[in-house]
Amino acid sequence: MEPNIGNTDKAAVQRAKDLLRSQSGAFRTGEAIKAGIHPRILYAMRDQGAVERLGRGMYRFADMPAMGNPDLATVALKVPKGVICLISALSWHEMTSEIPHEIYLALPRGAEPPRLEYPPLRIFWFQGHAFEEGVEEHDMDGIQVRIYSPEKTLVDCFKYRNKIGLDVVLEALKLYRQRKRFKADTLVHFTRICRVEKVMRPYLEATL
C-alpha cells in the first residue's frame, strides 16, 4: 500500500524536485537515494504524477517537453557504456529506409549484458578499437547519446552484412554517397580497424 501525502511529504517532494531537476529531467532511483531522498518520496512523486517511469529504476519529470528520441535516450541513460550502432545508427544518420523495431547497441566484449525491460535491445559485442573509435555524442533532450559516426556505421554494416542484410548495407552506401562530404580516407581507416578492407574495396572503388 502506497503512503498518503501529508504536508511533510509535500515539502519533501518539492525538495526532491529541486535536487533532481536537470536539463533532461531524467534520473535514476540510485541517484535519488544518494541525494538523500527516501524511496517513499519517489513513490509519492510518481503517485502525484510529478514523475513518469521510463524503465526499471528510471524516472523523468512529467512536466518536461516530450522527448524526440525517447528510446535512444532511455538506452543512453540505462546503458551509458553502450554505443548506438548498425541499423539504429543508420536510422539516426538518415542512411536507411528501414525502421528498426529494436535498438542496435554495441558493447565492449566481456561487458555484462544490460537488463532493460524496454525498449528491446539487440546487442553486438565489439572489441578494442572497433568499439572505441568513431563514437559521436549527440544531445537528445538534454541526454548525451553515444552513436557511431556515419563512416564507422557504414563499415560496421559491411562487417555484419550477413546479420542485417546486404541490401540494407548497399542502400546505406548509396545514401551516404549522395552526401556532399564523402570521407574516403575515414572510411578506409575504419575498414582496416574492422578488418573488412578487402570486402569493401570493390564497393569503394566503384563509388570514388
Judge whether 144 lies within some domain: yes
pLDDT at 8: 47
Are 135 and 43 part of one and the same domain? no
CATH code, 107: 3.30.460
Are 172 and 93 part of one and the same domain? yes
pLDDT at 153: 97
The interaxial angle of helices 7-20 and 39-48, nearest 10 deg, is 90
| pTM of model > 0.85 | no
Q: Which SS3 state, helix, strand or coil, does residue 188 take?
A: helix
pLDDT confidence band for 91 (50 / 70 / 90) = very high
154-167: average pLDDT: 95
Judge whether 1 lies within some domain: no
143-164: average pLDDT: 94
**By percentage, how much of the chain surpasses pLDDT 90?**
42
Cα 95 from Cα 176, distance rounded (Å)? 6
Degrees, nearest 5: CA angle 67-145-88 = 85
Are 83 and 57 part of one and the same domain? no
CATH code, 45: 1.10.10
Cα 86 from Cα 134, distance rounded (Å)? 13
108 within 8 A of 126, measured Cβ to Cβ: yes
Are 104 and 182 part of one and the same domain? yes
Query: Domain total for the chain?
Result: 2
pLDDT at 97: 92
- Residue 40 lies in domain: 7-61
Lowest-confidence range among 1-5, 32-36, 203-207?
1-5
All three cell numbers of 120: 528491446
